[in-house]
Amino acid sequence: MSAKAQMTVPAGPGYSRIKMKWNRNPGRIAGFWYLLLCMLPLRLVYIPNKLFVHGNAAATVNNIATHQLLFRLGIVSDLAGGVVLIFLTLAFYRLFAQVDRNLAVQVVIFGGVMPSLIFFVGVVSDLAALMIARGANFLSVFDKPQRDALAMLFLSLRDHQNTAAEILWGVWLLPLAVLVYKSRFLPRFLGVWLIVNGIAYIILSLTGVMWPQYHSNMFLYSQPAMFGEMALMLWLVIKGAKPQAWIVSREATIGATT
């Protein structure tokens, strides 16, 4: 028996059933990628509330220096989030390619590739702030208030990157909403909710650029609209989606009319 044959272990019936089950429900795969993404925004949600002190650069930098591991975990969560976004949008492409391939490609570009790049660029700003908080030797030419102000500059730059990214967080939901609405294997109300969700993100981003003093209030007012993504994620995780059944039904309808 050859070494290759010895290393080959035939898959049992249980493995085959699991693989077939996942292949038959690609919507659930997308749902679990979505769920994983929702568990990763440590840097976006938790760390600002835990470490950042509004209007106090010295306290913020001291908190980062004291809790470096937590801050680094936030950086890692952003890197992981960028990668998960790619896999999520590819899962959506697989799910919706038969509905409208062009729209599915737009989902990958606006929802995966471009936001992931912003994630990775944003990490550079956080690493710069961490370097300043640790007190790198070459920064000794600056006094402590200057270093604190420089660290806050990088943290503020990161916030502005998030504000810019909100445009993409909204734009990618528009082709996704149309795909959900047209698919027939997902409820149409989810498609309508996603359109509202996407428009809310776009308005939120423009508010942050044009009228930053109202950005926080706009974020609070837009919360009901932003549960559209959560609703889609929960539906996919719990019920999944099976485009094969829709394709068979469409082909049967076309065959009956010809």
Kindly report the pTM of this predicted structure: 0.82
Asked whether residue 238 is assigned to any structural domain, the reply reads yes
Asked whether residue 161 is assigned to any structural domain, the reply reads yes
Spatial neighbors of 36 by CB under 8 A, at least 6 apart, are 84
pLDDT at 84 over 50: yes
pLDDT at 103 over 60: yes
Tokens of 84: 């998960």
What integer pLDDT is reported at residue 7 of this predicted model? Answer: 44
- Give exposure, 142-151, as e/b (b: 16+ Cβ within 10 Å): eeeeebbebb
Comparing CA positions, the residue from 239, 227, 204, 242 lying closest to residue 38 is 227
Asked whether residue 17 is assigned to any structural domain, the reply reads no
* Count of other CB atoms within 10 angstroms of residue 7: 7
Tell me the one-letter amino acid at 80.
Answer: A
Mean pLDDT on 156-170: 93
Asked whether residue 117 is assigned to any structural domain, the reply reads yes
pLDDT at 5 over 50: no
**Banded pLDDT at 21 (limits 50, 70, 90):** low
pLDDT in tens, 114-151: 999 998 999 999 999 999 999 888 888 889 999 999 99
Measured CA to CA in angstroms, residue 213 lies from 45, 53, 198 at distances of 20, 18, 22
Asked whether residue 98 is assigned to any structural domain, the reply reads yes
Tokens of 221: 């007012």
Q: How buried is 4 (Cβ within 10 angstroms: 0-12 exposed, 13-18 middle, 19+ buried)?
A: exposed
Asked whether residue 11 is assigned to any structural domain, the reply reads no
Comparing CA positions, the residue from 37, 31, 32, 30 lying closest to residue 81 is 37
pLDDT in tens, 217-255: 999 999 999 999 999 999 999 999 888 655 545 544 444
Asked whether residue 179 is assigned to any structural domain, the reply reads yes
Instruction: Report how far residue 57's alpha carbon sits from residue 142's, in angstroms, rounded to the nearest whole number.
Output: 15
pLDDT in tens, 33-63: 999 999 988 888 899 999 999 889 999 999 9
User: Total structural domains in the chain?
Assistant: 1
Nearest 5°: phi and psi at 9? -110, 115
Asked whether residue 8 is assigned to any structural domain, the reply reads no
